[in-house]
Amino acid sequence: MYAGRPVCSLAYQHQHPSPGRPAMLPSTFHLSTAMPRHAEAEHGAAHADERRGAPAPGGGSSVQRPEQGKTETPIFLLLLGLRILNALTTQTFFQPDEFFQSLEPAWQMAFGEQSGAWITWEWKNQLRSSLHPALFAGLFAGVSAISGICSVPLALRAELLIAAPKITQAALAASTDYFTWRLAERAFGAQSSAAWASLALTACSPWQWFCSTRTLSNCLETTLTAAALVWWPWQWPLTSCSSSTAAPASVQKDVARRPISAHSGEIFHLRLSLLAAALACVLRPTNALIWICISAPTLWQASTRERLALVKWAVLCGCGVLTLSILADRCYYGLWTFPPLRFVHFNIAKSLAVFYGTNRPDYYLTEGLPLLLTTALPFAVYGFQQAIRGHGRSSPLLSYLALTCVAMVGALSLIAHKEVRFIYPLLPMLHVLAAQPTSSFFHPLTPCKKAVLGILLTINVLVAGYASQVHQRGVIEVLHMLRHHHERRALGGETTVGFLMPCHSTPWRSHLVYPEIKAWALTCEPPIDVPLDRRASYLDEADEFYINPGPVAWLGQHMESVGTIRSKGHVSKDKDEGKMQTKRPWPTYLVFFQQLEGTLVDFLQETKYKECWRGFNSHVHDDSRRKGDVIVWCLDDDGSDATRGHAERPGLADKKRISSGQWGMGKLRG
């Protein structure tokens, strides 16, 4: 029995890939065999609807349309083009992990320990799998080698190294969109209007535009999860056939005896699904929650042979991926370690995750899901409600997706540290749940509904545009500015940069590129070895700078005397990036947020520093330390290129007189 409906036996139609076309899903299923008479009329109507593009009630199309294979490649290529455009035009900053948990360790893998990559505490404590950065390390090494063979200019090589991860991630983002569409086809039928609606939802999603092309492990996790869901054997029994009134015994015996070994396509796709799921779990251990929810009912309701096949291949594929991960981590870390276990130990058992912030228990419901879905939220809520209740012709597949979303959100809500990207792997499922209500609402497309559609699309474009082009763009642009200044000065020389910002406010070596750019920044190492009773008073380096003792006292304690940049030229010998030395030399460039400008003007007013760049970063920010523009001061070192072209800018003493109104002028803008 399923949701009160006495329909549970399944008819299978096994479909195999034709030569010269991509492999299709192994088989789809629908409710037909031994259907009670009172359901025959509904079933017949469902097939009529399916021919018109509506979903079949059992969770898949009963007919393989000839044109389906012809649409797959063009659709993927269109999605790939869209996401490449998306990746190359995104100009904003989202999360430090986009760089410090992927591109920085990848840079070190590709170019060595002397390359200047910033390796954070997670990598020093073996908390992360090396598989994700290894993808980009190979990319960096390949681009660098080809650039050398082709004698590509160094400036162009730098641009290629920055663009290569973006294009790679664009392909993964396009795959997420593609697999979302294919999952909807499994639920509603090939070429159905609901499947096309899911494609429109994912392609027009503001969150997808903002996040999917970023090099976060969550993005790869989402791609792998969507692919694994498409390849999952949903055609195996999804409804219990234990009731003797549900189907004749002969039908139940036929299902139990179904020779799955005769259908190699099913096992092949099962292996692909399990490999993708295992890899997602290695990258992000919390992904295991999804597969517990998906596999448990399948194991419970499948036939004996199917159950044995699932267990067998789950063990083999899981062990294979774990072996690969352990060997890769052994090569990277130089010792035998198991990062997923250490990740759970550090972040949950030792409660280090809360050092980076805590959220309300309702965060995912009140903020996370609305951010993921934006304008699709009402349709997802309605589709979720229908799937949970099993009303109408709701597919059993949809019910399991809905229950998985509930379990995942509920489990992650118990953890104090919450981020919307942690539930990102649920977005393909949520788009599939929203697809049928979206399709039904806009059919037929009346003038009033056209207006609603136009409003929703306009909102999506505005949100996606602002998030990807405006908010926090300054922290990306400043890295390009520093790199270009270094190229203009002399590639063989040395450039020094100090970032007086909250930790990890900007990308690092993946955007600075050149190892000759010697940079340091404020750090925020967690209290790994600090007892629990002393953690409340623990301050990292960034906290010390902003809170105690404060910027002026910190600069006095940790930087050379201001007199060294009043009376003589500047030569920096700082070789230890990202680590606090007793007395740091004053760098060629100081980078900071506008919030700190007044303090630095007072402290450095009689020095050779001059403002040489200012870039917009944000209108508002939830961190007061990051408010306003990003500002760069350059050390005016006897006409160096650092300040060339900016001689018209007043010195810091002049800026103080301007800000105090002594010259009757407004705020100076760069």
Residue type, 118: W
User: End-to-end distance of the chain based on CA atoms, in angstroms?
Assistant: 70
Predicted confidence band at 393 (pLDDT cuts at 50, 70, 90)?
low
pLDDT, residue 656, reads: 52
Predicted confidence band at 18 (pLDDT cuts at 50, 70, 90)?
very low
**DSSP classification of residue 376:** G
For residue range 471-529, list pLDDT tens digits in order.
999 999 999 999 999 998 866 678 999 999 999 999 999 999 999 999 999 999 988 88
Helix ranges (DSSP H) in 190-261? 193-203, 206-211, 217-231, 249-256
Average pLDDT over residues 358-368: 94
Q: Can you spell out the DSSP letters for 463-531? A: HHHHHHHTTT-HHHHHHHHHHHHHHHH-TTS-EEEEEESSTT-S--HHHH--TTEEEEE------TTS-
**Cα–Cα distances in Å, from 82 out to 31, 216, 299, 662?**
37, 19, 39, 53
For residue range 71-128, list pLDDT tens digits in order.
889 999 999 999 999 999 999 999 999 999 999 999 999 999 999 999 999 999 999 9
- Of 617 and 6, more confident: 617
pLDDT, residue 358, reads: 84
| Average confidence score pLDDT of the chain | 83
Predicted confidence band at 295 (pLDDT cuts at 50, 70, 90)?
very high
Q: Are 225 and 180 in contact (CB under 8 A)?
A: no
Predicted confidence band at 27 (pLDDT cuts at 50, 70, 90)?
very low
Task: Indicate if the pLDDT at residue 659 is higher than 60.
Answer: no
- Of 250 and 297, more confident: 297
pLDDT, residue 245, reads: 40
Task: Indicate if the pLDDT at residue 587 is higher than 50.
Answer: yes
- Of 53 and 274, more confident: 274
- The percentage of the chain sitting over the pLDDT mark of 90, rounded to a whole number, equals 65
Instruction: Indicate the range of 25-34, 209-218, 282-291, 652-661 predicted with least confidence.
Output: 25-34
Residue indicated by tokens 């399948």: 298
Dig out the tokens for 476 from the structure: 């990306």
Residue indicated by tokens 């910002």: 501
pLDDT, residue 247, reads: 45
Predicted confidence band at 59 (pLDDT cuts at 50, 70, 90)?
very low
Contacts of residue 475, defined as CB under 8 A and 6 or more positions apart, other chains included, come to: 93, 505, 506, 507, 617, 630
130 vs 101: CA distance, rounded Å: 10
Average pLDDT over residues 127-151: 96
Sign of CA dihedral 549, 555, 558, 563: negative
32 vs 59: CA distance, rounded Å: 12
Sign of CA dihedral 41, 43, 49, 51: negative
pLDDT, residue 597, reads: 96
Residue indicated by tokens 């306003």: 628
CB atoms within 10 A of CB 357: 10
Contacts of residue 440, defined as CB under 8 A and 6 or more positions apart, other chains included, come to: none
Instruction: Indicate the range of 14-28, 207-221, 499-513, 587-601 predicted with least confidence.
Output: 14-28
Instruction: Indicate the range of 46-55, 232-241, 472-481, 573-582 predicted with least confidence.
Output: 46-55
Average pLDDT over residues 431-458: 96
pLDDT, residue 614, reads: 98
Predicted confidence band at 30 (pLDDT cuts at 50, 70, 90)?
very low
CA 295 to chain centre: 24
Sign of CA dihedral 573, 579, 580, 586: positive
Dig out the tokens for 614 from the structure: 């200012």
12 vs 259: CA distance, rounded Å: 12
For residue range 530-574, list pLDDT tens digits in order.
887 788 888 999 999 999 889 999 999 999 988 888 744 444 444
CB atoms within 10 A of CB 292: 13
Phi then psi for residue 306, to 5 deg, are: -65, -40
645 vs 86: CA distance, rounded Å: 34
- Of 635 and 140, more confident: 140
Task: Indicate if the pLDDT at residue 38 is higher than 70.
Answer: no
Average pLDDT over residues 242-271: 57
| Sheet (strand 609-615) strand order | 517-521, 495-500, 589-593, 630-635, 609-615
Task: Indicate if the pLDDT at residue 302 is higher than 90.
Answer: no
Predicted confidence band at 668 (pLDDT cuts at 50, 70, 90)?
very low
